[in-house]
Amino acid sequence: MDRKKRRLVVRTIILLVLGAALVFALYTNFTKDKNDSLQKGNEAPNFVLTDMEGKEHKLSDYKGQGVFLNFWGTYCKPCEYEMPYMESQYQTYKDKGVEILAVNVGESEYSVNQYAAKHNLTFPIMIDKGREVENAYRVDILPVTFLIDKEGTVVDIITGALTEETIQKHMERIKP
């Protein structure tokens, strides 16, 4: 086989493989069951993560308390908008049976520590390095907050930045 024919065969094979991958990706995306997402009324998936202070947090240890579970990133402007409000409400509700757990989506400890210091954040901040918790909660947009009641049930899922007033209302909803 001469060089031109060999090159044509290789290019054809590459195009076929790329086309098959594209068809597979489109097929799996459009046929996946929409009911596989975490929804209101579901039990919140348990997890264990270590915060920036080295303390381990296991969701199941918070049974009997409300949990305001927030997924965020340092690069996320809406996340930055709501963080001071979360801190303010954390100070109000931490002794009333409502905990804020902030889960960073896989960034470096250095950048998360710098961010927390810049914004004077005192609530528990954990980094989901392997993104297992992010996947368990099927997070696809930031910020997203899961309101979890004292029984461990997802009460609500809120996407987008929250104002201080809405955070306060949500804390009241999950207060035991």
CATH of the domain at 116: 3.40.30.10
Decide: pTM greater than 0.75.
yes
Per-residue confidence (pLDDT) for residue 23, from 0 to 100: 80
User: Given this model, what pLDDT does residue 24 score?
Assistant: 77
Other beta carbons within 10 Å of 94: 14
| Residue 143: closest CA among 166, 167, 161 | 161
Contact 86, 100 (CB under 8 A): yes
Regarding whether 167 and 81 lie in a shared domain, the answer is yes
Q: What is the pLDDT of residue 34?
A: 44
Q: What is the pLDDT of residue 31?
A: 56
Residues 91, 162: one domain?
yes
pLDDT tens for each residue of the chain, 176 residues long:
788 888 888 888 888 888 777 787 777 666 554 446 789 999 999 999 999 999 999 999 999 999 999 999 999 999 999 999 999 999 999 999 999 999 999 999 999 999 999 999 999 999 999 999 999 999 999 999 999 999 999 999 999 999 999 999 999 999 99
- Answer yes or no: do 60 and 128 share one domain: yes
Residues 38/43/47/50 CA torsion (nearest 10 deg)? 100
Q: Are residues 13 and 92 in the same domain?
A: no
- Please tell me whether residues 48 and 27 are part of one structural domain: no
Looking at the structure, tell me whether residues 39 and 23 fall in a common domain: no
Enclosing domain of residue 131: 35-174
How many distinct structural domains can be found in the chain?
2
Same domain, 68 and 109: yes
Please tell me whether residues 21 and 77 are part of one structural domain.
Answer: no
Do 60 and 100 share a domain, yes or no?
A: yes
Nearest to 102 by CA among 77, 72, 82: 72
User: CA-CA distance, 155 to 29, in Å (whole number)?
Assistant: 27
Q: Are residues 106 and 139 in the same domain?
A: yes
Domain co-membership, 9 together with 85: no
Q: Are residues 17 and 79 in the same domain?
A: no
pLDDT number for residue 105: 94
